[in-house]
Amino acid sequence: MRKHQLIKPSDLYPLQDTLTVIGTFNPAAVVVDDRLLLLVRVAVTAKEQREGQFARLRFIDEKFHFDWLATSDFDTDDKRVLRRRDDGRIFLSSLSYLQMIWIDNYQEPPNAWKLRTGDVIVPESLYEVFGIEDPRCTWIDGCFYVTYTSVSAHGACTSLMTTTDFKTFKRHGVIFPCENKDVVLFPDRIVGKIHSLHRPVSATPFCAPEIWTASSEDGICWGHHHVLASGSALFEGDRIGAGTPPVRHNGRYFSIYHASSRCRPPARVGTYVGAIMEMVICHGRVQLQRRSHKPFLVPTEPWELNGFVPNVVFPTGLIALKDKWLVFYGAADTSVGVAEIMLDEVVQALA
What's the confidence (pLDDT) of residue 265? 62
- CB atoms < 10 A from the CB of 300, how many? 10
Indicate if the alpha-carbon torsion angle 95, 151, 299, 278 is positive or negative. Answer: negative
- CB atoms < 10 A from the CB of 344, how many? 10
Distance CA(68)–CA(239), nearest Å, equals 32
Let me know: does 78 contact 267? Beta carbons within 8 Å: yes
CA–CA–CA angle 136, 142, 148 (5° rounding) = 20
Distance CA(260)–CA(237), nearest Å, equals 7
pLDDT tens across 189-241, in order?
A: 988 999 999 999 877 778 888 999 999 999 999 999 999 999 888 898 888 99
Q: Spell out the alpha helix ranges (H) of the chain.
A: 302-305, 343-350
What's the confidence (pLDDT) of residue 264? 66
DSSP 166-227: SSS-EEEEEEE-SSEEEEEE-SS-BTTBEEEEEEE--SS--SS-EEEEEEESSSSSEEEEEE
CATH number of 2-350: 2.115.10.20
What's the confidence (pLDDT) of residue 266? 56
Task: Tell me which amino acid residue 190 is.
Answer: I
Distance CA(152)–CA(126), nearest Å, equals 7
> The pTM is what?
0.95
**Chain Cα centroid distance, residue 256:** 12
**Chain Cα centroid distance, residue 235:** 19
Let me know: does 232 contact 208? Beta carbons within 8 Å: yes
Please, which residues bridge with residue 83 across strands?
75, 90
The low-confidence residues of the chain, meaning pLDDT below 50, are none
Indicate if the alpha-carbon torsion angle 202, 296, 292, 256 is positive or negative. Answer: positive
Distance CA(28)–CA(148), nearest Å, equals 9
Q: DSSP character for 245?
A: P
